[in-house]
Amino acid sequence: MPDSAIQFDQLLQRCMGNVDFADRLLTKFISRLPGDVDELKSSIQQGSPDEVARVAHRIKGACASVAADRMKDVAEELEAEGRGGQIDEPMDWMDRIESEADRLLTTVNQYQLERSNSN
Amino acid sequence: MRVLVVDDDEVSAELLKHALEQFGYDVTIAFDGCEAFRLVRTGEFRMVVTDWEMPEMNGLELCRHIREKAASGYVYIILLTSNSGTQNIVQGLEAGADDYIVKPFEPEELSLRLRVGQRVLTLESRDLIIFSLAKLADSRDPQTGAHLERMREYCRILAKHLATLPRFSEVVDGDYVQLIYLTSPLHDIGKVGIPDQVLLKPGKLTTEEFEIMKQHTVIGGETLDAAAAAHPEARFLKMARDIAWTHHERFDGSGYPKGIQGYDIPLSGRIVAVADVYDALTSSRVYKPAYSHETAKDIILEGRGTHFDPEIVDAFLATEAQFVEVAEQLDSSDLFSGDGSLLPSS
C-alpha cells in the first residue's frame, strides 16, 4: 500500500500537468468525501451489503480518479465484501474508513496550504 | 468532435472532460444514463464515454438503449469503469459497448482509444458518402425508384451464396459480401454525364442515342479509375470501378463497352449484371410493365452462358425465394416513405 494518501504525480499526469485544475478537482473531491463516508458508514450500520457495495464502488471510482490509492483500496475491499453479501467485522471497517478519510483530508489540506503559501 | 461523458461521480466526470478537451474534443457531461440517452437521441453525439454503475439507468442499460433506439447514425461507446475482470468486460461488450477501459484512465491511452472510435465512425461516413453519390446519379432517372436499394440486396444475396461454394471460397468472404453491398449502388454513376434528352427519353433510343447511353459505363469507370489510382489502398474503389466498367459486359463477349468475355469480366461485374437485369425486368418502366418473377427468371435462364455467367445464374436459381422477398419488401412505392430505408443497413 502506498505511503501517501494521494499519488500527486499520477493525479497531475491525469490533469495533463495543469496544477490549478488538479487543485480545483481535489477541492471538489474533498468537499464530497465526508458525505460519502457518512453514507458508507450508515449503510454498514444498517447491515445492508448491497448498499455498502454500491456506495463503496462510487467512492472507489472517485478515489481512483484523483489517485487516492489507499482509500481506493479500502473501498475496493469493502465493495467486494458487500457483493459477497455479508460485512464481517463492521466496526473494524468503520474505523479503517474513518482513519483513511482523515488521512486523506489531512494530506489534501496540507498540500493546499503549501500551495497557497508558495503562491 | 463532440463527446458525451456520462458519470454520476462529478470528480471523475470533470477529470475526463478536462483530458478530452485537451485532446480537442467538445465535451458535454451527463450525470446519469437517462439524461445521457436523451442527449444521444438529439443526434448530436456520435461518441459516448460512460461509467457503468449509475443510478436510474446504468451504463449497460444505456448501451442497450442506444443500440436499440438511437437511429441517427452509429454511436461509438466506450465503457470507462472500475469494474475490471474478463467477465465484466465481456458483459460490457455484449451490451453493445465498442470498447472498455478500466478506471483510472491514462490520458494517452484514452486519446488513442478515441481515435479508434473516430476511425470506425469515419468508415460509416464513407458508406454514407458512397450511397449519397449513387443516389445523386440515380436521382437523374427517377423512374427507377428503389432500384439501388434492391440491387445491392440482390448482389449481397448472390455473393453470400457464392461464399458457401468451395470454388469461390478463396475470393468471396464476408468482406467481399460487404464490399459488393457497399459499392454496387455506384454501378450507374456515369449516368450523371449522359444528356437529359437521352437519359430521360421516354421511348426507344435510336442507335446513335444508345451509343451515347452506353458511355455511362466509360464515364463511371474512368471516374472511379481516377479515384482508385489516387487511393490504391481503398479496395472498395477498385470494386466500384470494376462494376461501373463491366456491369453491361456479357459472358459471350457481346456486351459493352469493351466486349470482354467470360472470366475476364471481374466477378463483381458478373454478379451485378444478373442483379441489374433482374431488377430492370421486375420493375415497371415508361416503355414496359413490370414482369413477374417467373418471366424474369425465364429470361435470365435464357441468358445463361451467353449474357450471364452460368454459375451466377445457378446462384440466382438457388436464392430466388430471397429475390422475391426483397422485391416485395422494397417496392418502388416505398421509396419516399421517409422510413430511413435509404440509409445503409451495414
> pLDDT, tens digit, for every residue of A65-85?
999 999 999 999 999 999 999
pLDDT of residue A99: 93
Which of A20-24, A37-41, B148-152, B313-317 tops mean pLDDT?
Answer: B313-317
Nearest to A57 among B11, B18, B82 (CB): B82
Nearest to B19 among A10, A16, A64 (CB): A16
Q: Would you call A64 and B9 a contact, using CB atoms and an 8 Å cutoff? A: no
List CB contacts of B118: < 8 A, sequence separation 6 or more: B1, B47, B76
For residue B230, what is its C-alpha cell? Answer: 489516387
**Is B21 near chain A, with CB under 8 Å?**
no
Whether B117 has a pLDDT exceeding 80, the answer reads yes
Q: What is the pLDDT of residues B136-167, one digit of tens each?
A: 777 776 656 588 889 999 999 999 999 999 99
Query: What is the spatial distance between Cα B344 and Cα B96, in angstroms, rounded to a whole number?
Result: 19
Which residue would you say has higher pLDDT here, B292 or B120? Answer: B292
Which residue would you say has higher pLDDT here, B346 or B145? Answer: B145
Stretch B56-73: mean pLDDT:
85
Q: Counting runs of H as helices and runs of E as strands, what totals does chain A give?
A: 5, 0
Whether B342 has a pLDDT exceeding 60, the answer reads no
pLDDT of residue B345: 37
Give B332's pLDDT tier (boundaries 50, 70, 90): low
Kindly state the percentage of chain A with pLDDT values over 70: 97
- Residue owning grid cell 491514462: B106
Chain A residues with CB-CB distance to B under 8 A?
A: 10, 13-16, 18, 21, 25, 28-29, 32, 54, 57-58, 60-62, 64-67, 76
Q: Would you call B10 and A58 a contact, using CB atoms and an 8 Å cutoff? A: no
Residue B101 falls in which region: left (phi positive, over 0), alpha (psi -120 to 50) or beta: beta
Q: Counting runs of H as helices and runs of E as strands, what totals does chain B give?
A: 14, 5
Question: b or e along A40-63 (b: 16 or more beta carbons within 10 Å of the residue's beta carbon)?
Answer: bbebbeeeebebbbbbbbbbbbbb
Could you tell me which of B71, B65, B67, B54 has the C-alpha nearest to residue B10?
A: B54
Query: What is the spatial distance between Cα B247 and Cα B186, in angstroms, rounded to a whole number?
Result: 11
